[in-house]
């Protein structure tokens, strides 16, 4: 494995681990009680099947970071400023409008929408910082 791919892999691992922790903070325990206002939204009643869902959801930040790092590599973006601008652009294009649109149709409190939206911004910024540190 050459140095470029090793650095890309390291950036993905660092960003994936870091953003998994931010997911836990912004989308997990901190806001968990707000979901109880509308228990009908839960896919798994009584927590049955939740462990498998958590496992799969825990892998998704690594996918996000991998695609982000690969995109930065292809676009030759390695500085903090460049990677953070890309993170902000992606957030404005995808997660922020998606969360707002979902809140218009699904019973989500404003706290959940704000938390998930900020969680996505932080996740993308963590990926950006990992790329800038490891690949810069």
Higher pLDDT, 109 or 101: 101
Residue 110 banded pLDDT, cuts 50, 70, 90: confident
Higher pLDDT, 5 or 37: 5
H or E element in which residue 125 lies: helix 110-135
Cβ burial, residue 73 (10 Å; 0-12/13-18/19+): middle
CA distance 56 to 51: 9
Residue 39 banded pLDDT, cuts 50, 70, 90: low
Cβ burial, residue 106 (10 Å; 0-12/13-18/19+): exposed
């Amino acid at each position: 494995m050459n140095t470029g791919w090793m650095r890309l892999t390291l950036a993905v691992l660092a960003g994936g681990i870091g953003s998994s922790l931010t997911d836990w903070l912004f989308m997990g325990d901190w806001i968990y009680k707000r979901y109880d206002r509308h228990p009908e939204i839960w896919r798994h009643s009584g927590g049955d099947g939740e462990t498998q869902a958590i496992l799969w959801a825990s892998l998704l930040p690594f996918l996000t970071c991998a695609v982000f790092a690969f995109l930065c590599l292809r676009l030759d973006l390695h500085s903090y400023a460049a990677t953070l601008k890309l993170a902000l652009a992606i957030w404005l294009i995808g997660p922020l409008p998606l969360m707002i649109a979902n809140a218009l149709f699904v019973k989500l409190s404003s706290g959940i929408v704000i938390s998930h939206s900020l969680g996505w911004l932080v996740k993308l910024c963590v990926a950006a910082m990992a790329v800038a540190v490891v690949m810069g």
